[in-house]
Amino acid sequence: MESLLKVALAQIAPVWLNKSETLKKIENAVTEAANARAELVVFGEALLPGYPFWLALTNGAAWDLKINKELHAHYVRNAIQIEAGELDAICQLSKDHKIAIYLGMIERAKDRGGHSLYCSLVYIDQQGQIRSVHRKLQPTYDERLTWSPGDGHGLQVHSLKQFTVGGLNCWENWMPLPRTALYGQGENLHIAVWPGSENNTKDITRFIARESRSYVISVSSLMKKEDFPIDTPHLNAILKEAPDVLANGGSCIAAPDGNWLVEPVRYKEGLIYHTLDFNRVYEERQNFDPVGHYSRPDITKLTVNRERQSTVSFED
């Protein structure tokens, strides 16, 4: 059964900007997925502790505006510092249940001083070990007002049964060269995480599947107006401009031929399951393989810098 992999797509809403309560919700979803015999569970972009929706609702680009400073500070306090052990409970669940996890989160990176934020995609293997932390290379549009640009260190793939899995955050999936960096390492199960919208997932999911001849899993979060906690700073100002639905989901799975296995699911909160058959990858690589027989590395070749970037290096 090494060729079969049961996956779970966790399309859930965060307890917005509350990391302790959102962690509990994630832990419950991991346990539920494991009890359903899933071997991989995927969570949406920035789910822990939530996407920075306020930027589009509070004049987020206004210089020196107090509301944006205070919301940013609240965001920093609820971001995750991996070095402090804040993912230890999830790693233990992964180990106990032998389930791999892709988790979208906001990282307060200690190796960059501990004050700036990165939109990170964390892979935890079935032994409960964190194997990669991919910091989003290029935050999109207003995200740049609160997230910092990442580096190539997390452009890594991982073995999971017969599959080779890799992942990117949101609009990174539109970037041809990061996709190629994963393809070149043998990726055949691509994970794309999103804050939550079928408008994002309905086209790119099938496109990447057809380009790479791989399975593609897109996982989005949910967010409704009533999901904002009542203790959110400046809640009234946020709600005044917020639409009723800020993230409608759209989680889905495409097969290596680009056809739907699970069409985009909207508005529904919960876990979505499907079993993938690795043999479909070999079938579709017969006539196209973007980094194998249908490539010309003597003419075009990609160079990737995977060094973790830091402002300071010490020689003690």
Q: Find, among 89, 72, 90, 43, the residue nearest to 221 by Cα.
A: 43
Distance from C-alpha of 52 to C-alpha of 82, rounded to nearest angstrom? 20
Question: Distance between CA atoms of 184 and 182, rounded to whole angstroms?
Answer: 5
Cα separation, 223 vs 248, in Å, equals 7
> What is the helix (H) or strand (E) element at residue 64, kind and residue range?
none
Q: Give the C-alpha separation, 30 to 99, whole Å.
A: 8
Tell me how far the alpha carbon of residue 14 is from its chain's centroid: 14
Enter the DSSP assignment of 244. S
CB–CB of 216/253 below 8 Å?
A: yes
Q: Is 129 exposed, middle or buried (0-12, 13-18, 19+ CB in 10 A)?
A: exposed
3-state secondary structure of 295: coil
Q: CA torsion 123→126→131→132, rounded to 10°?
A: -10
Q: Which residues are catalytic?
A: 45, 136, 170
Residue 133 pairs with which residues in a beta bridge? 122
Q: What are phi and psi of 18, to 5 degrees?
A: -125, 100
